[in-house]
Amino acid sequence: MFYHAYEHYLESAFPYDELRPLTCDGQDTWGSFSLTLIDALDTLLILGNVSEFQRVVNVLQEGVDFDIDVNASVFETNIRVVGGLLSAHLLSKKAGVEVEVGWPCSGPLLRMAEEAARKLLPAFQTPTGMPYGTVNLLHGVNPGETPVTCTAGIGTFIVEFATLSHLTGDPVFEDVARKALKALWKNRSDIGLVGNHIDVITAKWVAQDAGIGAGVDSYFEYLVKGAILLQDKELMSMFLEYNKAIKNYTKFDDWYLWVQMYKGTVSMPVFQSLEAYWPGLQSLIGDVQNAMRTFLNYYTVWKQFGGLPEFYNIPQGYTVDKREGYPLRPELIESAMYLYRATRDPTLLELGRDAVESIEKISKVDCGFATIKDLRDHRLDNRMESFFLAETVKYLYLLFDPDNFIHNDGSVFDVVITPYGECVLNAGGYVFNTEAHPIDPAALHCCRKQKEEQWEVEDLMREFYSLKKNKKFILKRAADHGEGEGAKDPEDASLEKGGEKRNSKKNSHSLLSCPSQSFNSKLAVLGQVFLDNT
């Protein structure tokens, strides 16, 4: 299935974002980034195709440019482009790519991910810290841009942006992502729910429907995944509070409805296909029994139609007008993969088999796989979304491949030497972003530098000469950014005892965490201290 879609994309649609499978041509949809290629890159490695992975890495380095006059979705660019590039960057050594010295703290794909993410930063410059939904990649936020953004479009950055901050040493990405998450938390209703769309200037809720589906979904997902990735208790406690309110107000007989965020009264008794990620998320916090019960409800809908309609009216047991389509979404398959890892229940493999059969039978065409426009009569639409190769096929493959490296339980791993010491990678525990791009959480502990810790030349020289005179001095440290940043080396501690404070206008800057290497090599590694004109 993967290669039928992928090869036709390369033949008929590249360098456009997406394949149009009924007319065998391509179209730009979310920007102009050859999006399907970026989205499919880590799937290639999961399928074991290292040679094509290596080829595509070279193609992307040569061909993708973010300095373009295009209005792009901040959310979609983050999850598909930034997420896809970060994941491919962290997997590139495993795929046999020759990585540069300093990897995983540097590399061409990481630089591309950082460049793309920087293009999104202007969107976060609002009074609330909640981002606009759209940004122009060349000019920033357009003057007439609507300030109304959906909740997911505000709360779905912490996985990619915290990873970027930890790898590059620039805290700005994680900072803006956290600020946005906290702004949503601060604006929840008295009964603990968030709505669907909010004004990012005034923080007034514009759409007050609360639920777990479209417009909200990945905000909850990223509280859990951010908590796991960063070992962050605050994010997890936020999610657990929301989880209580969701159970209290939106859950009925293992279905989740839409309710008014302030009153808790039912506004739409509808199941949306995007909600099917929820059982997988429940399994991540260990709530496997509830997850299975909800999953089985959703699976009955799949069996009724051979796919999940975008909206399904629960009391009537049928599709909702104008929402009868199935664009080959991954969410139910994603939940099946997580739950199968947790339970080994063969029912989950049956869903996988049904999904393969349905998609093959209904949506396969000569040039790929087409979106199903209407599940009632199986009419097709001329579109193949990039998430079909990024997510749907990947989760199906991982459901049926228990020995895939992604499922590693920590029994095998790689040790990499970085400029900041030894570092364990590829030990498993991958955290999938909401576009199914796996992030190796161990990588976040490999790169112990922070931009603000890089010395200015005068600072560096002063310390160099004071060391030569054998003076004792204090190493001031920046605020702890995640595990590993604030851990003191024994050498630091001995230097601190009774030392004199540095009298510098840069006193707020942390200076030096002492990796085991000579001063000269440290200078060579951090050469950008002299060259970095930012």
* Distance between CA atoms of residues 368 and 456, nearest Å: 54
417 CB burial (10 A radius; 0-12, 13-18, 19+): exposed
- Which of 42, 76, 232, 463 is flagged as catalytic? 76
Q: Which of 507, 500, 516, 455 is nearest to 476 (CA)?
A: 507
Give the containing element (helix H, strand E) for 225.
helix 217-230
Marked catalytic residue, from 160, 209, 217, 440 = 217
Query: The dihedral of CA 241, 246, 251, 255: what is its sign?
Result: negative
Question: What residues pair up with 416 in beta bridges, in sequence order?
Answer: 423
Q: Which residues contact 368 (CB under 8 A, 6 or more apart)?
A: 4, 5, 8, 9, 19, 21, 384
The residue among 198, 200, 227 whose CA lies nearest residue 210 is 198
Of 39, 42, 331, 463, the catalytic one is: 331
- Residue ranges of E strands in 302-430: 311-313, 318-319, 364-365, 368-369, 372-374, 379-380, 414-418, 421-425
DSSP 410-446: SSS-EEEEETTEEEEE--S--EE-TTS-EE-GGGGGS
> 331 an active-site residue?
yes
Residue 275: both structure tokens together: 């909600």
Q: Is residue 434 part of an annotated ligand binding site?
A: yes
Asked whether the bond before 104 is cis by omega within 30 degrees of 0, the reply is yes
- Catalytic site includes residue 145: no
Catalytic residue among 310, 453, 459, 463: 310
Known catalytic residue: 217? yes
Distance CA 372, CA 379 (A): 6
Residue that the structure tokens 């939904």 belong to: 133
Whether 456 is catalytic: no
Distances (CA, A) of 356 to 40, 43, 230, 353: 18, 17, 35, 5
Residues marked active site are found at: 76, 217, 310, 331
Annotated binding site for Ca(2+): 434
Annotated binding site: 434
